[in-house]
Amino acid sequence: MKRTKLAASFLLVATLFLTGCVTKKEFVNLQTDYNKLKDEKSALDKSYQDAQIQLAEYRTQSKSLEDRLSEARKNNQELRNSYATLQGSLDKSLQQNSQGNINISKLVDEINASNRYIKQLVDAKSKSDSLNVMLTNNLTRSLSREELKEVDVKVLKGVVYISLADNMLYKSGSYEINERAGETLSKIAKIITDYKDYEVLVEGNTDNVPISRTNIRNNWDLSALRASSVVQELQNKYGVDPKRLSAAGRGEYNPITDNDSELGKQRNRRTQIIVTPRLDQFLELIDKAPEAEGEAATE
């Protein structure tokens, strides 16, 4: 509108000037108005340009905001997807953890059962070791110095071995018990009787010198007959329960040294009284062994 007014004023001034119908004063006034209008036009043009620049900046900012909004929406969707994935993982973990707690509880019960079983075994072993030491000490104290020269008492792997020289027990090449062996056997029988939870194996051993006599074909026969003689002596003369006794012959095949010398042969000719804890007690402990869940399920 201002542009139209300015153009009209300019046209009026020009017309008046050309027709010569204006005074000088009027012309000056018109010129002044014209200059004002011209200045206003310049100001308007500048404002218009500034407005165009600002509009362009606003459009640029608007585009940037739209891009940021689009990116934010995209990120928001990704976050929603991640949240859903994490929630699913959490639910699965909670379920597994619940099952894991059950499994851990079962495992703890199995470990506790195993620990109790191990403690039973350790207690049984400790008790057996203690009794073995007591048995050995009691027997050793009861024997005289002379007897200890021909009787060897020791504990190996939880078993008490009482080794008797054959020249104390028997005549050479015979399985009959000497009278002088009676006192020693009576002391051994008393110890065996006192420890009722033990089993007794009497084992005969010989050297490698061949033998052949009436009713004795070889060293197998001799070792077995000697062991049997000791068992019957313990039962019949000293009252040891025969259910706890057993006899075995090893012949010449269980030497403790070589047979190259007389001393070696003498050491190999021996009868061993082997005192062991009752096997059924340990079998009962084995039967009480806790079973793993998988093994129990298989059965």
* Same-domain check for residues 37 and 137: no
Query: What distance in Å separates the CA atoms of residue 131 and residue 117, rounded to the nearest whole number?
Result: 21
Q: Domain boundary residue among 44, 69, 94?
A: 69
* Same-domain check for residues 166 and 63: no
* Same-domain check for residues 149 and 274: yes
* Same-domain check for residues 65 and 130: no
pLDDT of residue 249: 96
13 within a domain of the structure (yes/no):
yes
pLDDT of residue 51: 83
79 within a domain of the structure (yes/no):
no
pLDDT of residue 227: 97
Q: Which domain holds residue 204?
A: 125-285
pLDDT of residue 37: 85
105 within a domain of the structure (yes/no):
no
pLDDT of residue 298: 44
- Dihedrals phi, psi of 17, to nearest 5 degrees: -65, -40
* Same-domain check for residues 140 and 15: no
Query: What distance in Å separates the CA atoms of residue 69 and residue 75, rounded to the nearest whole number?
Result: 10
pLDDT of residue 296: 43
* Same-domain check for residues 168 and 42: no
Low pLDDT (below 50) residues in the chain: 282, 285, 293-299
119 within a domain of the structure (yes/no):
no
* Same-domain check for residues 33 and 129: no
Q: Domain boundary residue among 69, 87, 111?
A: 69
pTM: 0.56
Beta partners for residue 205, in sequence order: 270
pLDDT of residue 128: 61
The DSSP string of 100-160 is HHHHHHHHHHHHHHHHHHHHHHHHHHHHHHHHHHHHHHHHHHHS-HHHHTTEEEEEETTEE
- Dihedrals phi, psi of 60, to nearest 5 degrees: -65, -45
pLDDT of residue 245: 96
* Same-domain check for residues 55 and 147: no
CB 170 within 8 A of CB 164: no
153 within a domain of the structure (yes/no):
yes
* Same-domain check for residues 146 and 221: yes
DSSP assigned state of 243: G
Query: What distance in Å separates the CA atoms of residue 16 and residue 10, rounded to the nearest whole number?
Result: 10
Q: Domain boundary residue among 51, 69, 87?
A: 69
92 within a domain of the structure (yes/no):
no
* Same-domain check for residues 41 and 157: no
116 within a domain of the structure (yes/no):
no
* Same-domain check for residues 160 and 263: yes
* Same-domain check for residues 62 and 190: no
6 within a domain of the structure (yes/no):
yes
> How far lies 23's CA from each of 8, 11, 19, 27, 128, in Å?
19, 17, 11, 6, 149
Q: How many folded domains does the chain comprise?
A: 2
- CATH number, domain of 237, equals 3.30.1330.60
